[in-house]
Structure 1
């Protein structure tokens, strides 16, 4: 009787195969070697729907021609080496967008962009703080290389949520984070 015909060996091989499939689906190691590049343009407000022109001139206040920068920060590395900038913009229509500029980080499973109230702490001590308090999930990271835009919901209080994390939701760890400083 050969070794491969023994029931214990066959069961062991079956268990090993199942564990390998589960490990691959959870860890997704190929993402460490494959980049997703994104290059979204600076956001602009949606074009207004037709507006009636008044018969007489109406005095209007100054109107911003483009996005206004509200806050800015530089990403620091946490779990993975990362670089880039984070900018919070207000568009002429009053909506707000978080923009990642020149991002360079590793890809990973279930990466999210979070606005949080957690302090940005350098080193390993800062890896796990962002899910301890308040956070707003702005969606999945669109790409680990390049620039991308994430709409900020209307009710979000930017005075309370003063940092950004590229958060790995699968392993509850920050890949990178930035403290947001108001722009004067």
Structure 2
């Protein structure tokens, strides 16, 4: 019995086509290219830096006053949020703009604020405090991966204002950079030096 060559070729086309579809699905799941077309805006309420913490002087009592005299100085209210460090993003693999603030709250807790962030959405992007330097341009794309870092968690969105809690034991004299790090591809979307 003679087999048809046409039937054999058709089978190989079906196998090849099926393999191509499987490869496309796997690539889609890994690269998630649709994220480049989806924006996620976050508008966390950012604390404003506190005003002056100078002591408040009470007015002196008038001569006609029958009230007991008060102390000349009243205690100042508890200090509000204070900016400890700040910086501006530079672009790495993806165009990234905005600024960062490290805020110390009145209770002593610290937070990282991403202010006016604009970057691309991507798979598995995390907010890092990094011990590495911020290097502009293509040379800086992979810098943070070679240094110690503190992972503050997945990025909440690619646009807007965002707050992240900084653990109490983090030494900010060591971790002087913020990186938006894509863990899936080990590359920085953008980074900011803290000063």
User: Match of 1:145?
Assistant: 159
Q: Once the 2 structures are TM-superposed, how far is the Cα of residue 177 of structure 1 from its aligned partner?
A: 0.2
Correspondence for 1:164 among 171, 178, 189: 178
Correspondence for 1:116 among 130, 149, 157: 130
User: Match of 1:26?
Assistant: 30
Aligned length: 166
Partner deviation per Cα, 1:125-159 (whole Å, 9 max, x = no partner): 00001010110000010010000000001111100
User: Match of 1:41?
Assistant: 45
List aligned pairs for 1:62-101, cutoff 5 A: 63-64=78-79, 66-101=80-115
Bigger radius of gyration among the two: 2
Tell me which stretches of 4 or more aligned residues in structure 1 moved more than 4 Å. 1-5, 59-62
Correspondence 1:129 to 2:133: no
Q: Give TM-score scaled by structure 1 length.
A: 0.85
Output the CA distance in 2 between the equivalents of 1:93 and 1:16: 57
Q: Give TM-score scaled by structure 2 length.
A: 0.80
Closer, same or farther: CA 3–161 of 1 in aligned 2, 3 Å = farther
Closer, same or farther: CA 97–11 of 1 in aligned 2, 3 Å = same
In structure 2, stretches of 5+ residues that fail to align are 49-73
Partner deviation per Cα, 1:84-127 (whole Å, 9 max, x = no partner): 00100011111110000000000000010000011000110000
In structure 1, stretches of 5+ residues that fail to align are 45-58
Closer, same or farther: CA 43–13 of 1 in aligned 2, 3 Å = same
Q: Once the 2 structures are TM-superposed, how far is the Cα of residue 3 of structure 1 from its aligned partner?
A: 6.5
